[in-house]
Amino acid sequence: MKLPLKLKFKIVLRAVVTVLRRPKYIILSIISTLAMAGIIIWSLNLELLGYILFQAPLDLFGKIDFIAYGYQSLFTTYDNLLSLGIIVFTVFFGINIAMLVYVIKRQGMKAVPKKSGGGAFIFAILGGGCVACGTSLVAPLLASFGAVSAPFLRDLGAIFNWLGSLLIIYSIYKLSLLISVPPVTNTVHSGNKSNSE
């Protein structure tokens, strides 16, 4: 059945509110957002991160500070479009994880849609860095195809990232359907009980 866009939006909004009004899911969402942002930000400097964590003569606070400084690079390493894309993606990613856990907890693993964010994760990681300058994970791949000088490369990182966001939104929508509209079999067997949550 094809649902009107307005109704889809309402379903998603209702599901997001249902999940995020519980503090533990907000915390899970924030942790997931920060973890994902960290992975994207540090993906180009993992050796440096390893050096800071395990070798650098810094105390614990110094190490924490350094990692926190890395998050500032969101506004220096990436241009505005890509920065915004990463922020949007990571926030959606956090919401997606919280909703995924909510669904697993209530309906079991079998209820989880197959496409629930893995592809989006890959796109977002590939989208980081400056493709044209060679400081992107996707740059060596493109260079091997001789495509480094194509003008569209400048925004390719942002395109990858926004594509990741679209996939995450799709995943959120699929999870929202499960949260807002519980499976028919559940309704039949447990009657009103399934709606009371």
Least distance (Å) between residue 189 CB and other proteins: 22
Judged by CB, which is closer to other proteins: 70, or 163?
Answer: 70
Judged by CB, which is closer to other proteins: 101, or 159?
Answer: 101
Judged by CB, which is closer to other proteins: 39, or 88?
Answer: 39
Distance, CA of 85 to CA of 88 (rounded, Å): 5
Backbone angles phi, psi at 133, to 5 degrees: -85, -10
What are the residues binding other proteins (CB under 8 A)? Answer: 24-25, 27-28, 31-32, 35, 38-39, 42-52, 56-58, 62, 65-66, 69-70, 72-73, 75-77, 79-80, 97, 101, 104-105, 129-130, 132-136, 139-140, 149, 151, 154-155
List b or e across 163-187, with b for residues whose CB sees 16 or more CB atoms inside 10 angstroms: bbbebbbbbbbbbbbbbbebeeebe
Least distance (Å) between residue 9 CB and other proteins: 26
Least distance (Å) between residue 89 CB and other proteins: 16
Task: Please name the residue that has the structure tokens 């400097």.
Answer: 45
